[in-house]
Homo-oligomer: A and B are copies of this chain.
Amino acid sequence: MTEVKPRIGFIGLGIMGRPMAENLLRAGYPLVAYNRSSDKVAALVEEGAQAAENPAQVAERSDVVITMLPDTPDVGEVYFGSQGIMTRIRPDHLLIDMSTVSPAMARRIFANAEAHGAESLDAPVSGGDVGAKAGTLSIMVGGSQPAFARAEPIFQVLGKSILHMGASGAGQVTKACNQIVVALTIEAVGEALVLAQRSGVDPAKVREALLGGFAQSRVLEVHGQRALEGRFEPGFRIRLHRKDLHIALDTAQSQGVSTPVTALVHDMMNSLVAHGYGDEDHSYLIAELAGRANIELS
C-alpha cells in the first residue's frame, strides 16, 4: 500500500532552500515553489516542480508549506503580507518555518494558524549548505506532537537528527541557544590561541593539548584548525551569526535574562560587519583578535 504524499509548497530557494527542495522532489513529493527572484524557480521547474507567483498561490496549491528565508522580516512578509500565506490559510494546512527567526515570530505564526484550525511548526536547522545538500541537517522542532508526527516523514528526507523540543517557539529557542554557545566558544578559542602565539608558544600544540582535556570542544577542533590554517572563507557568514545573536538578545531581553557575554560578542560581530567582514566565516572572530595583537596565527 503506497501512501499518497502531501503536496508541498516551498518558499525560499536560497543556498539552503534550493537543495532542500531538490531533495523533496527526488523523494517523490509533488512540489510548488516560490522565490523572490524567479530565475531560481525556473531552475527548479526543470527538475519537476511547479511555479507559483506569490506565497498566497503556494498556500492555495499545497497541503504542507515550508518556508526557508533569511530573516524575521522576510518571514513576516511571506506569512502576513498582502499576498502572504495567511490570506489563503485552510484548516488542513501544516505550515513549517525552517528559517532561523525569533521565537516570538514562531508563536505569532502558530497563533494565526491555530485561529484558522491549521497547524504550524518552527523547525530551524543546523548543518549548513553541506547538510542541506546531503539531507543530513539537524532539525530543532517546536509545536504540537500531532503536527510533529505529520511532518516527520518530510523531516527525514531533509535531516538526520530530528528533535521535538517542545511547544511552538521551542525550536527557535534551541537554535538561539546553539548559536550562543558556538559564538562564545569561537571567541574563547580565539582569546586562548592568540595569547599562546603572542607568548611564544605554538598555538597548534596548545590546540592539541586542550583537545585532550576539559577545554575540549567541536569548535576548538574545527575552528581552531581553521584559524591555524588562516582559512576564513564561509562556512557560516558573520552577518548571519550576528543576526542569530540578535535574535538571542531580543529573546533574552523579553524574558528578563542577563546574557552579558552574548551581548559583547554580538557587538564584536557588529564591528566586523561594519568594517566589511560580514561575508567572512564566523571564525574570523579569531583573526580579528590576532589582528588586534598584530600577529597572524597561520
Contact = CB atoms under 8 A, between A and B. Distances in A.
Interface stretch (A52-60, A88-96, A183-191): A183-191
Contact of A209 (B165, B182, B185): B165
Interface in A179-238: 180-185, 187-189, 191-196, 198-202, 205-206, 208-210, 212-220, 222
Contacts of A191: 180, 184, 252, 257, 259-262
Nearest to A175: B209
Interface stretch (A35-43, A66-74, A166-174): A166-174
A156 interface: no
A103 interface: yes
B210 A181 contact: yes
A294 B215 CA distance: 29
A161 B213 CA distance: 9
A184 B188 contact: yes
A293 interface: yes
B184 A138 contact: no
B261 A205 contact: no
Contact of A195 (B140, B166, B170, B257): B257
A182 to B, nearest CB: 5
B180 A258 contact: no
Contact of A198 (B126, B169, B256): B256
A264 B255 contact: no
User: Most chain-B Cβ atoms within 10 A of its Cβ — which of A161, A181, A220, A261?
Assistant: A181
A215 B174 CA distance: 11
Contacts of A260: 191, 264, 268
Contacts of A165: 201-202, 205-206, 209
B103 A212 contact: no
Contacts of A218: 213-217
Contact of A202 (B127, B166, B184, B289): B166
Nearest to A254: B199
A251 interface: yes
A184 B181 contact: no
Given A187-B261, A206-B174, A251 B195 contact: yes
Given A185-B215, A191-B261, A209-B165, A177 B200 contact: no
User: Most chain-B Cβ atoms within 10 A of its Cβ — which of A218, A248, A261?
Assistant: A261
Contacts of A205: 163, 165-166, 174
Given A184-B185, A259-B191, A293-B257, A178 B264 contact: no
Nearest to A178: B215
Interface of A: 103, 126-127, 138, 140, 142, 161, 163, 165-167, 169-170, 173-174, 176-178, 180-185, 187-189, 191-196, 198-202, 205-206, 208-210, 212-220, 222, 248, 251-252, 255-262, 264-265, 268, 289, 292-294
